[in-house]
A = this chain, B = another copy of it.
Amino acid sequence: MEPTILDRLLAISSLLQRDAQRAFAGTSLTEARVHALWVIRHAGPSTQQTLARALGTTPRSVSALVDGLAETGYVERRPHPDDRRAVLVTLTDRADKMMTRMEQDHRNLTADLLSAVDEPDRAAFERGVDAVFWRLSELVRREAVSYDDVETR
């Protein structure tokens, strides 16, 4: 049976994931940690509550993530100027350097993948990816399928 668009998208997801895991092999970095670093990179120094919301996880998990990132020198916890309960998680120079390099790799990969698409197809391809992204956002925002009743049948 021929792979469908969804099959392809799922395969692309898992390739991207494997690529990331291989890039981080041998370092203390993981996908979850790098995700957190990206959020801070774009949002600036952030409280752990903010990070928890942005990452779609719990404050407890953020504590653990920030612990790991701090131990390995990628972030620092700085006191919040106005709220003595809170901390501002801040990128270190080391993190800044690594993410600058990561952004460059990101740009290179973008160009590489796009150039793999036949030039006459590119515009339609980009529109299609955009359309699928938005449709999928809608679906996920609404009710998701559940296999609950299958299990508890």
Contacts and interface: CB of A to CB of B under 8 A. Distances in A.
B12 A144 contact: no
A16 B9 contact: yes
B136 A16 contact: yes
A136 B15 CA distance: 7
Interface residues of A, number: 69
Given A10-B16, A13-B12, A129-B125, A101 B144 contact: no
A26 B150 CA distance: 11
Contacts of A29: 147, 151
Interface stretch (A44-52, A62-70, A82-90, A109-117): A109-117
Interface of A: 4-13, 15-19, 22-29, 56, 72, 94, 97-98, 101-102, 105-107, 109-110, 112-114, 116-118, 120-137, 139-140, 144-148, 150-152
